Amino acid sequence: MSYVATVERVAQLHALAARLAAHGTAGAGDFGAKLTSALARSDLASEATRAGSDADVPYADLIDRAAARYGIDRNVLRGLIRAESGFNARATSAAGAAGLTQLMPATARSLGVTNPYDPAQAIEGGAKYLRQQLDAFGGDYRLALAAYNAGPAAVRRYGGVPPYPETQAYVQRVLAYASEFARGGSAR
């Protein structure tokens, strides 16, 4: 299987897992959650990205320290930063989110982040916010990531990952990146 075909297949499987997990019935939701978990561990995902090391991950030390401090998976935090900013500390969205972890100004302030363009502050704030979402949603990374992207109110309103294409794709993308990092993939 070619690299592109493998990446496309992994993305399709992540999309299926998200749809099943959000389906609403216990059987489909449980299967979707199990499929998501299996994909995170799968050899299929690792086939897409075998090379790389921590040397290929910008801010690896800052990310790993923040992940340890807040008890979150370092690879998910790495995946979140890759999805949010592509590891560009100067990134700014049209909506006003800023820095590596793309915190909105009010959220940044509430987390004690005074300069979202400072990598240490952005990573610390993003890790703290992700921890808050994990605590709010029972440790479920899919729901926590959806809340990070669309807001916790949207996740509560829909009782799961909201049916917003952007949010569904975001959750899949972060988890796919996390899987790449777990297999030694790079930030590229």
Within 13 Å, how many C-alpha atoms sit on residue 120's CB side? 0
Q: What is the 3-state secondary structure (H, E, C) of the chain?
A: CCHHHHHHHHHHHHHHHHHHHCCCCHHHHHHHHHHHHHHHHCHHHHHHCCCCCHHHCCCHHHHHHHHHHHCCCHHHHHHHHHHHHCCCCCCECCCCCECCCCECHHHHHHCCCCCCCCHHHHHHHHHHHHHHHHHHCCCCHHHHHHHHHHCHHHHHHHCCCCCCHHHHHHHHHHHHHHHHHHCCCCCC
Based on the residue annotation, tell me whether 84 is a catalytic residue of this protein. Answer: yes
**Cα-based angle 135, 137, 138 (whole degrees, multiple of 5):** 70
Q: Which of 8, 47, 84, 166 is catalytic?
A: 84
Residues annotated as part of the active site: 84
